[in-house]
């Protein structure tokens, strides 16, 4: 009789252990994994929400900067835009006293809302002239961006330098983007 009770107790304990193991594998572990996944997703969404709130807080600054960029962009009339860039390059050359070797302009159509005028300039001069040329380019009221810059020495002492710079300006068409 004692042996039968012991077998029943062992059988019930084995069934409980198997039930606990099955419950852990089929219910508890997937639920814990899902909760961890959801916690990570909630954390990501909270970060995105914080970034959104920060962006909304800076909306005035961003809109003001966007309007400045539109105002300082190239005019819609292509010849007028090219002329404006040529005048700017002339100012930079005069201010820096570099020897402008070449200047090439190329229009690139991107979308219906804007085009870019890409310019490649080659110049020669000393370190002070080249640095002044770059300073004038960067501080020009016309909204231009340096895309590529190559500076090489033309002599062994490094007194004579050559620069190749590619810069571009954006031209907004018809609708001036975001109002």
Q: Are residues 122 and 155 in the same domain?
A: yes
Q: Are residues 167 and 79 in the same domain?
A: yes
Q: Which two tokens stand for residue 122?
A: 């080659």
Q: Are residues 94 and 141 in the same domain?
A: yes
Domain count, the chain: 2
Domain that holds residue 34: 2-57
Whether the pLDDT of residue 67 is over 90: the answer is: no
- CATH number for the domain including 167? 3.30.70.60
Summarize pLDDT for 4-58 with one digit per residue, the tens: 788 888 888 888 888 888 888 888 888 888 999 999 999 999 999 999 998 888 8
Q: Are residues 105 and 160 in the same domain?
A: yes
Q: Where are the alpha helices (DSSP H) in 24-164?
A: 29-57, 59-71, 78-96, 127-138
What number is the average pLDDT over the span 142-148?
89
On the 0-12 / 13-18 / 19+ scale of CB atoms within 10 A, 123 is buried
Domain-located, residue 162: yes
Q: Are residues 43 and 114 in the same domain?
A: no
Domain-located, residue 26: yes
CB 149 within 8 A of CB 119: no
Of the pLDDT bands very low, low, confident and very high (cuts 50, 70, 90), residue 175 is low
Q: Are residues 96 and 128 in the same domain?
A: yes
Provide the whole-model pTM.
Answer: 0.62
Which strand ranges, in their side-by-side order, compose the sheet holding 114-125?
99-109, 114-125, 161-172, 144-153
Q: Are residues 80 and 163 in the same domain?
A: yes
Q: What is the pLDDT of residue 177?
A: 46
Summarize pLDDT for 78-124 with one digit per residue, the tens: 888 899 999 999 999 999 999 999 999 998 887 777 888 899 999 99
Whether the pLDDT of residue 128 is over 70: the answer is: yes
Domain-located, residue 65: no
Q: Are residues 85 and 136 in the same domain?
A: yes
Of the pLDDT bands very low, low, confident and very high (cuts 50, 70, 90), residue 166 is very high
Whether the pLDDT of residue 1 is over 60: the answer is: no
Domain-located, residue 70: no
């Amino acid at each position: 009789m004692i042996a039968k009770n012991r077998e029943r107790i062992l059988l019930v304990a084995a069934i409980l252990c198997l039930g606990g193991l099955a419950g852990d594998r089929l219910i508890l572990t997937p639920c814990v994994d899902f909760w961890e996944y959801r916690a990570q997703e909630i954390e990501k969404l909270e970060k995105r929400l914080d970034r959104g709130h920060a962006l909304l807080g800076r909306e005035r600054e961003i809109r003001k900067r966007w309007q400045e960029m539109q105002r300082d962009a190239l005019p819609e009339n292509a010849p007028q835009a090219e002329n404006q860039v040529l005048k700017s390059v002339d100012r930079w050359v005069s201010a820096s006293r570099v020897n402008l070797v070449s200047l090439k302009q190329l229009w690139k159509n991107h979308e219906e809302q804007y085009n870019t005028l890409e310019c490649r300039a080659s110049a020669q001069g000393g370190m002070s002239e080249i640095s002044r040329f770059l300073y004038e380019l960067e501080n020009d009221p016309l909204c231009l961006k340096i895309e590529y810059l190559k500076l090489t020495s033309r002599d062994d002492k490094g007194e004579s330098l050559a620069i190749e710079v590619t810069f571009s300006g954006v031209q907004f068409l018809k609708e001036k983007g975001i109002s």
